[in-house]
Copies of this chain bind each other. A is one copy, B any other.
Amino acid sequence: MTLSLKWAAAAIAAACITASLPFAVGHADDAASAAPIFGVKIPAGYRDWKLIAVGEETGLDELRGVVGNATAVKAYQDNKTPFPDGTTLVKLAWKRKPVDGLNGAFVTGPATTVQVMVKDSVKYAATGGWGFGRFIDGKPVDAAQHETCFACHEAHAKDFDFVFTHYAH
């Protein structure tokens, strides 16, 4: 076997391992994936967190699901704000996709963004105690977009510790 064939075999093996993983990869928890300004990363294992609520953005034709870590879920269950340090919320967004043959029914299509809020009342004191991260394909968007996060949360969700999402009972 020549060297190039060996490399090809290794590449195919690696591809097969990747293909056998149950979920999309590419959200590596490394320095490169930290959001500008806040340094927030996509938390490991978030896709298996508990559901807080769902939502929709008609302007973007998107459906959303918000999940939270154990600290977040407990705070919601105790109905207690401000949320404690360590609270992490992740909003998953997908394009809205019609169900064939069922008029008016929609399901989730391709994923669009993953948005993260992390509570650290000291580190993020200037932004209500929250750090923000917005990611597309596992990569953070630019600083300009991250500069808009807190102003909007402050304008519309100040009464609930700057969090839009309430628990969907």
Contacts and interface: CB of A to CB of B under 8 A. Distances in A.
B65 A54 contact: yes
Given A48-B50, A101-B155, A164-B107, A56 B96 contact: yes
A54 B58 contact: no
Contacts of A59: 103-105
A56 B165 contact: no
A108 B53 contact: yes
A63 interface: yes
Contacts of A60: 104
A92 to B, nearest CB: 7
B57 A64 contact: no
A65 B51 contact: yes
Contacts of A94: 54, 168
Interface of A: 22-24, 47-51, 53-60, 63-65, 67, 73, 76-79, 92, 94, 96, 99-108, 111, 155-156, 164-166, 168-169
A154 to B, nearest CB: 12
Contacts of A53: 65, 107-108
A92 B68 CA distance: 17
Given A102-B156, A156-B102, A164-B99, A107 B55 contact: yes
B24 A57 contact: no
**9 nearest CB pairs, A to B:** A22-B77, A108-B168, A59-B104, A58-B104, A56-B106, A54-B54, A51-B51, A54-B65, A24-B169
A55 B108 contact: yes
A169 B23 contact: yes
